[in-house]
Structure 1
Amino acid sequence: MCGEDPMALNVDHLLRTAATLEQALKAIDHLERRDDVMFDLYRNAAIKSFELSLETADKLLRKALKAYGGAPRAVDALVFNDVLRHAGKHGLMDALTVERWLRYRANHNNTAHDYGEGFANETLKLLPQYLSDVRALAPALQAVFDASA
């Protein structure tokens, strides 16, 4: 697989971004005050980890859809919301999980345009469930990659 993306057939990078997110959330939970710079630092780290893991999940889901026989160019042309819907059709996530991922994606799109503190704090509320969903998705993706190897 010369020239192939190094995360082509594994979820290690996705799990690494999830671990980073988890550590940022734990650090926030241990802070006594939310009005100091350490809160801002950990909140920003959590949001960045969320963004990175969402982008990684997008790439991995596309690879999984191709493993199901999706035409590579057609899969590449899908918007992420359609990638999520196709993932649901292939059993990588159930309908409720697809809906949550659609909310995560909408939130991610908003973080690119709204850097306000209120919005960042709203994003934090999504992250514990998101972390759980990422960790549930990883083995489902890995199973697809292992089956197609």
Structure 2
Amino acid sequence: MALNVDHLLRTAATLEQALLAIERLEKQDDVIFDLYRNAAIKSFELSLETAGKLLRKALTAYGASSREVDKLVFNDVLRHAGKHGLLDILEVERWLTYRANRNNTAHDYGEGFANETLKLLPQYLQDVRALAPHIQKVFDAAS
């Protein structure tokens, strides 16, 4: 089975649609706003986890064993991705911020925090879409 980034791009597309739906809403105190905000945040969480799994697989192409990569915490996976050119320094910093935010979304269910997360998502969407072709190149080269 060839590895690809199709699922990652699908989660990005879902996130984009949720963000576009939010932009079209006239008021933010509506339950529909909550629905789309929650969909955006869930898409963010899913795509971040998917990106992490794909990065782990991509790192094995640089000589690390699957066992070694599996021992890495997510932040170290991001740092190694930077080391191998999958992310630049600024992207690594942003991805570390996304991860920290994700860790908080798992424990903080407040409306204020959810709205703060929404502010990160347009840049995140750009970053996830920029990362996907880098990962795909690694998979293509390894096959």
Q: Same fold (TM over 0.5)?
A: yes
Cα drift, residue 71 of structure 1:
1.6
- Give the count of matched residue pairs: 143
Aligned mate of 1:103, from 97, 101, 111: 97
The alpha carbon displacement at 1:69 in A equals 1.2
Runs of 4+ with deviation above 3 angstroms: none
Q: Do residues 35 (structure 1) and 36 (structure 2) align?
A: no
Q: Deviations over 1:51-82 (max 9, x none)?
A: 00000000000000011111211100100000
For residues 105-137 of structure 1, the C-alpha deviation after alignment (integer angstroms, 9 at most, x for no partner) is 000000000000000000000000000000000
Cα distance in 2 for partners of 1:142, 1:68 equals 14
Matches within 5 A, 1:1-149: 9-149=3-143
Question: Any idea what SS the aligned residue of 2:27 has?
Answer: coil
RMSD: 0.8
Percent sequence identity over matched residues?
A: 83
TM-score (norm 1): 0.95
Q: What 5-or-longer segments of structure 2 have no aligned partner?
A: none
User: Structure 2 CA distance, aligned partners of 1:72 and 1:145?
Assistant: 14
Amino acid at match of 2:79: R
